[in-house]
Chains A and B, each alone.
Chain A
Amino acid sequence: MTTATNTSTPAPSTDPAWAGLVWTLVRTDFKARYHGTGSGFLWALLKPTAMFVVLVAVFSLIFRSEPNYKLKLIIGLFLWDYFADSTKAGLASMSSKSFLITRARLPTWILVVTSLANAIVTLTVFASIVVAYLLATGAFPGLPALIAFGGYLAALVTITVGISLGASVLFLRYRDLNQVWDMAMQAGFFVSPIIYPLSVVPERFHFWLFFWPPTPVIEFTRAALLGPTLPTTTANVYLGLLSTGILIAGAMVYRRFGPRAAEYL
């Protein structure tokens, strides 16, 4: 029988010092990415917007009969962009902060979660712009729809935290996991109903498409904000279970491999 224990001083979550670490990580991440300027942040919004302009030019002709196609497209693009950006950052989070992991004893999940902060800020800004636009154009969908929207964003963040927790520790073992994930993202973009309406896909495939996490998030968000009706309770419960399941699975992978992370660096 072997036991491996490490009894030590304060519990990480209650130690106020980690709050300083969280803030410093978020701040320096932002700084390194946008070179310390607020205007650099505009790039984060510009990327999906530029994509939108290109795609609208091409596809709004093809899907002319689809109501609200442009709004649906931009909602899909921003949600997708968050999903792709955050999981990419999350996957590399432990590896890119290896200089901290090998030199200090710290709760490494903090590194994973804070790496998503940038993408979450962009997502929040986008969500505010969408709501403001709907208000300004008199298409305000009502309070229940807004609450549902908030819920879907929370589910999306939960999903990306789960994926990042698992991927970040696996990436330390499988050094080409980022390539695999890049490929998955490329295919995933087309599997998700972003540029095409789900209705063009034969009904019998819909069930399977909804297993790919961004699909229900994008579809339900569109339904909540643009109508015609709010997603059903069953649909909401499904998304709740899916996101919780992914978070638990990711946390389990992290718990399994996380404690030995430093040995792989």
Chain B
Amino acid sequence: MPGDEIIRVDHVSKGFLVPSVRRDTVREHVLGLLTPRRLDPLRVLNRVSFSVRRGESLAIVGRNGCGKSTLLRVLCGIYRPDSGSVATSAGITPILELGVGWNHELDAIDNVQLMGTALGLSLGAVNRRLDSILEFAELERFARQKLKHYSTGMAARLAYAVAFSAVREVLVLDEIFAVGDARFRARCENRYRELQQAGHTIIIVSHDARVVGQFCNRALLLEQGELIHVGDPDAVLASYRTVLDRSPETAEEIANAR
């Protein structure tokens, strides 16, 4: 890998087999022995290649279902590509699927310790950052409350706070700045700028043209699992709008892209 290249995605394809009839249980499998089913391959990513340079902010844009989230998961090593390879030379911290994914029977501190260590921090490091995490999420008063008593917004703020403080070299964000009130969003944006200035590499998925334009210095456009445009954010956003105009899409998506 050349010196400033931190992630190289090489001809990555990823598909899922979608059965004509879904069988999730032993019972269905046993009863289903008599009626064979068809497995339809659903190609989500098709020979996607690109690389990410150290310190850059890369945006991934595309319509719903174009493969953005799958690509992020492959990048983070959560999904394994069917073919092709992902080579990374730095630790990656993902923030995916906000608002879900806590142990609801545990309080905030235990959950922060769980998620922090799962994201690769040592327990000592998590404990040292505990106060600043809770402060960032504005949840100091609720630190000993079980997560089941939290609102969706509170849980999402906690998720951001943990991931923002657990950032290793690369931060991967799905739909950043989509939660919280204006004040919390502003705090996230500040933190994002700080990380950028500190030299972290950031990859974000967003539908929001403002986020892509303001925070990213390169963008790539995915359409039906294929990479169709890589380059300057403004140029990529322009192609994105063309893609949206060509196909019947929801008004919301078009509005966000303007």
Inter-chain CA distance A109–B94, complex, in Å, is: 20
Instruction: Tell me the nearest residue of chain A to B93, going by C-beta.
Output: A104
A6, chain B: closest CB distance, angstroms: 5
Contact of B78 among A21, A31, A174, A262 (CB under 8 A): A262
Taking a contact as CB atoms under 8 Å apart, the answer to whether A23 and B24 are in contact is no
CB of B105 within 8 A of chain A? yes
CB atoms of B122 and A20 under 8 A apart: yes
- Tell me whether A203 is interfacial, beta carbon within 8 Å: no
Of A55-63, A95-103, A222-230, the one with at least 4 CB within 8 A of chain B: A95-103
Tell me, yes or no, whether A64 is within 8 Å of chain B by CB: no
Is A173 in contact with chain B by the CB < 8 A criterion? yes
Interface footprint category on B: 35 or more
Which of B95-103, B131-139, B183-191, B204-212 lies at the interface with chain A? B95-103
Is the pair A21, B117 in contact by a Cβ cutoff of 8 Å? Answer: yes
Is A4 within 8 A of B87, CB to CB? Answer: no
**Interface-side segment among B25-33, B55-63, B219-227, B250-258:** B25-33
What residues of A have a CB within 8 angstroms of the CB of B121 in the complex?
Answer: 17, 20
CB neighbours (8 Å) of B24 from chain A are 173-176
- Point out the residues of chain A lying under 8 angstroms from B26, CB to CB: 174, 176-177, 180
Closest-by-CB residue of A relative to B169 is: A9
Is the C-beta of B230 less than 8 angstroms from some C-beta in chain A? no
B89 interface residue (CB < 8 Å to A) = yes
* Closest chain A residue to B12, Cβ basis: A4
Smallest beta-carbon distance A253→chain B, Å: 15
Q: Is the CB of B85 within 8 A of A4?
A: yes
With an 8 A cutoff between CB atoms, is B50 at the interface?
Answer: no
- A9: chain B residues at CB < 8 Å are 88-91
The verdict on A37 contacting chain B, using a C-beta distance below 8 Å, is no
B129 within 8 A of A: no
- In the assembled complex, how far is the CB of residue A265 from the closest CB belonging to chain B, in whole angstroms? 10
Interface flag for B83 (CB, 8 Å): yes
| A3 partner, pick from B83, B88, B90, beta carbons under 8 A | B83
Closest to A10 in B: B91
Distance, CA A175 to CA B139, complexed state (A): 36
CB distance from A260 to the nearest CB of B (A): 6
A16 is an interface residue with CB less than 8 A from chain B: yes
Selected interface stretch from B108-116, B194-202, B236-244: B108-116
